[in-house]
Amino acid sequence: MQYIDNIIFLILLVAGFGLFAKSLQKIYRNIRLGHEINRNDRKSERWTTMARVAMGQSKMVKRPVAGILHLFVYVGFIIINIELIEIVVDGLFGTHRFLASVFGHGFYNFFTATLEVLALLVVIGVVVFFIRRNFYGVKRLTMKELFGWPKQDANWILIIEFALMMAFFKMNGADWVLQQRGLLPEHGSFPISSTFLAPVLGGFSDGFLFFTEKAAWWFHFVGILFFMNYLYYSKHLHIILAFPSTWFANLDKKGKFNNLESVTKEIKLMMDPNADPYAAPAEGEADAAPSKFGAEDIFDLNQVQLLNAYSCTECGRCTSVCPANITGKKLSPRLILMKTRDRLEEVGKNIDKNGKFVDDGKKLLNDYITKEELWACTTCNACTDACPVLLDPLSIIFEMRRFLVMEQSAAPQELNLMMTNVENNAAPWQYNQADRLNWAND
């Protein structure tokens, strides 16, 4: 019976990390539904970009208040969970504050004091974020597209983080009081909990303090496992996926339109006077041609675009700078990524149920993203420039527009007129090439 706590701890640990691994496996499978794209070039630049943007939060601090508070929460929460190493060892072997024997008395005091200060910064950050999101009225955080689950999800994350930090302080406060009574070895320095919580806890009995310390310890451990597995259902997947998203980001100049190799070959064939248009394609070339041009559903997007959909934190910085959205049009770049993720999740559940994808009569185009949204985009790249983790909603819009034009000939009348003019007059305007310089006559 003396090992029952250790056994329960081991079961929870294995179950928690097992479920988390299963969730990551599903995400990986869903992302691989897209077609492959080679983003393994310029590796040194990619490592630098990931370190600067994902780890260094360089784009977050462009809005200083939100950026600095996010830095508090991000750095604090990540470093505090280094203590999970100590919790795992203590839970498996029944030790108490294992890292004290590894770090030594002086460094362990510095380590625990640093964690307490960071935990306080996390608390300040999540409280301010909760107020901003629910009471301050920041427009990009109160838009209709966030009603329902997206808003609830954001609030739940803040509440969970707050509760975990409170359990952390409570555990340390009870531990400190017991140390002062000589009932536990003196390990660690707790400037926040000893100042604010110890005076309250000091009036309770030894038995109650032991119970409080252990209950807070268990709550903190189980809470971390719960938070970790909740990520699959949350926009906060960006905690993990921001790193691969920034590494695989498009490093070309913004707005550079990718040419389809199959179309380029066809144009070159048409312009080559010595080419035989009736010749059979070379071995492998027929298979290289795309089954369709552009994207109608998530299967037509590339894997980085699907990774982007999972990585979106729904902060709305992209939408807040979108000129189409600002002028009242239906387009929201944030919603493009959110809808892509929703469709991707729906397809994933279809595969889970049937063992393979069974046509459900739905497509990303029209069922999730409308033509009105796609043609409202001015392709100005303000959204891609604003994204704090280098996501690219514009590339999804590009591909869906390409499908409409090249597969369905469904471009707006204004665009069809322009393309006709380019074809006939070598200019977007409706006048003869010979008259192009008439404007200079006067």
Q: What is the pLDDT of residue 387?
A: 93
119-152 pLDDT, tens digit each: 999 999 999 999 988 888 788 888 889 888 899 9
Dist CA 430 CA 419 (whole Å): 10
Q: What is the pLDDT of residue 425?
A: 82
Buried b (16+ CB within 10 A) or exposed e, 55-77: eebebbeebeebbebbbbbbbbb
Listed residue (392, 395, 393, 332) closest to 140, CA to CA: 332
Residue 231 CB coordination number (10 Å): 19
In total, the chain counts a number of residues equal to: 442
Cβ(69)–Cβ(127) under 8 Å?
no
In 3-state terms, what secondary structure has residue 35? strand
Cβ(145)–Cβ(332) under 8 Å?
yes
DSSP structure class, residue 204: S
Listed residue (316, 329, 281, 279) closest to 393, CA to CA: 316
**Token pair for 143:** 């838009």
Dist CA 108 CA 64 (whole Å): 33
Domain ranges of the chain: 4-31+63-235, 261-432
Cβ(67)–Cβ(61) under 8 Å?
yes
Cβ(54)–Cβ(240) under 8 Å?
no
Q: What is the pLDDT of residue 179?
A: 92
Integer distance in angstroms from the first to the last C-alpha of the chain?
Answer: 101
Q: Residue 412 corresponds to which amino acid?
A: P
Dist CA 372 CA 284 (whole Å): 38
Domain 261-432 has CATH 1.10.1060: yes
Instruction: Write out residues in the chain with pLDDT < 70, as ranges.
Output: 1-2, 277-291
